[in-house]
DNA sequence: CCTATGTTTAACGCATCCGTTAATTAACGA
DNA sequence: TCGTTAATTAACGGATGCGTTAAACATAGG
């Protein structure tokens, strides 16, 4: 389980961690702030943040004794990119939509 | 870890299972066929298939003594849908692209 | 310096994951 | 019916995941 994609998916496989990401989408937050909605201990939250950090899903900065977490969505882009390979298996409109997107990209390049 | 999304992400967090899905994207296959590229035992593959099945990522059918697996991408759509919420955090062109997509959808509805 | 606050690290328990080999089940076919 | 082939289940071992409490660390501020 050493490859990047596995680390990302594993990080997302926990509801607490996904909730933390959802919270961070609204803005940076300290560990205590992130812990507040949950009925688990601060050390547990601290570990979750470590997992998210190792997956590249957050970055952290220190200000005095507070550690602020910041959402980094790049890994989600990677994970989505992997799933895109299977889009044709669920999206019946994929082929037409794909054509549309290509046309748009061409237009953007021309403008 | 009882919620559906967690089960899906956990299933994807293993490179062997992702490779199995990639293989199934090319067509249905039996357990032995799926095991062939890997240097792990058949029981191990059998367990991986069980995990994928419980995540809804494959369905299985029996024909004589062979059990064929078939890719089901619906869970990937769900996972992608969840990630979409964060698209604006990585895709700088998301707003414009989003507008384009809406226009296309309107066009489709009109035609 | 001492203390309060915020956070992390250490040490532990328990459950789950991932692999193994051996045994079992299921179905075909001579 | 008996042997062969395909796959699963059982039983086990080691690693990892997720939670806990207690201790340690870091910084602000009287």
pLDDT digits (tens, 9 = 90+) for A17-34: 999 999 999 999 999 999
> Encoding tokens for residue B16?
């062997």
> According to the model, what pLDDT value does residue B97 have?
67
Residue–nucleotide distance: B108 CA to C3 C1' (Å): 68
A12-16, A97-101, B3-7, B19-23: segment of lowest average pLDDT: A97-101
- Of B93 and A69, the structure prediction assigns the larger pLDDT to A69
Per-residue pLDDT tens digits for B45-79? 999 999 999 999 999 999 888 999 999 999 999 99
Nearest CA-CA distance, residue A106 and chain B, Å: 13
User: For residue range A1-19, what is the model confidence (pLDDT) as tens digits?
Assistant: 689 999 999 999 999 999 9
Task: Please state, in angstroms and rounded to a whole number, the distance separating the CA atoms of residues B41 and B107.
Answer: 52
Chain A residues within 8 Å of chain B (Cβ atoms): 1, 3, 5-6, 9-10, 12-15, 18, 21-22, 25, 71-74, 76-77, 79-80, 82-87, 89-91, 97, 100, 104
Distances (CA, A) of A13 to B2, B44, B51, B64: 10, 21, 14, 36
CB contacts, 8 Å: B25 with chain A: 85-86, 89
In 3D, which of B19, B46, B16, B18 has the Cα closest to residue B30? B46
The pLDDT score that the predictor gives to residue A93 is: 72
The answer to whether B79 and B9 are in contact (CB under 8 A) is yes
- Which nucleotides of chain C have an atom under 7 angstroms from any protein CB? 4-11, 16-23, 26-28
Residue among B71, B72, B80 whose CB faces A83 most closely: B80
If you average pLDDT over every residue of chain A, what do you get? 91
CB B9, CB A9: distance < 8 Å: yes
With pLDDT > 70 as the criterion, what percentage of chain A qualifies? Answer: 86
- Mean pLDDT check: name the lowest of A63-77, B81-95, B96-110: B96-110
Say whether B76 and A97 touch across the interface (CB within 8 A): no
Domains along the sequence of chain A with CATH: 4-75 (1.10.10.10)
The conformation of residue A36, written as its DSSP 8-state character, comes to T
Average pLDDT over residues B97-105: 68
The stretch A38-60 carries a mean pLDDT of 98
Q: How confident is the model at residue B101 (pLDDT cuts 50, 70, 90)?
A: low
Least confident of A52-61, B30-39, B83-92: B83-92
Q: What is the pLDDT of residue B98?
A: 67
Q: Between A and B, how many CB-CB pairs are < 8 A?
A: 89
pLDDT for B92: 74
Structure tokens, B94: 């998301």
Whole-angstrom CA distances from A34 to A29, A61, B18, B42 are 6, 15, 32, 43
On strand D, nucleotides with any atom < 7 Å from a protein CB are 5-11, 16-23, 26-28
Instruction: Determine the average pLDDT of the residues in A78-96.
Output: 87
> 3-state SS string over chain B?
CCCHHHHHHHHHCCHHHHHHHHHHCCCCEEHHHHHCCCCCCHHHHHHHHHHHHHCCCEEEEEECCEEEEEECCHHHHHHHHHHHCCHHHCCCCHHHHHHHHHHHHHHHHHC
Is the pLDDT higher at A32 or at A102?
Answer: A32
Q: What pLDDT, in 10s, does the model give residues B10-32?
A: 999 999 999 999 999 999 999 99
């Amino acid at each position: 389980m050493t490859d990047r994609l596995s680390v990302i998916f594993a990080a997302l496989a926990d509801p607490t961690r996904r909730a933390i990401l959802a919270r961070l989408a609204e803005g940076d937050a300290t560990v205590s702030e992130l812990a507040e909605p949950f009925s688990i201990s601060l050390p547990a939250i601290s570990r979750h943040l470590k997992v998210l950090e190792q997956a590249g899903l957050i970055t952290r900065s220190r200000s005095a004794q507070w550690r602020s977490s910041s959402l980094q969505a790049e890994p989600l882009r990677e994970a989505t990119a992997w799933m895109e390979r299977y889009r044709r298996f669920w999206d019946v409109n994929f082929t037409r939509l794909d054509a549309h997107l290509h046309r748009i990209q061409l237009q953007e390049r021309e403008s």
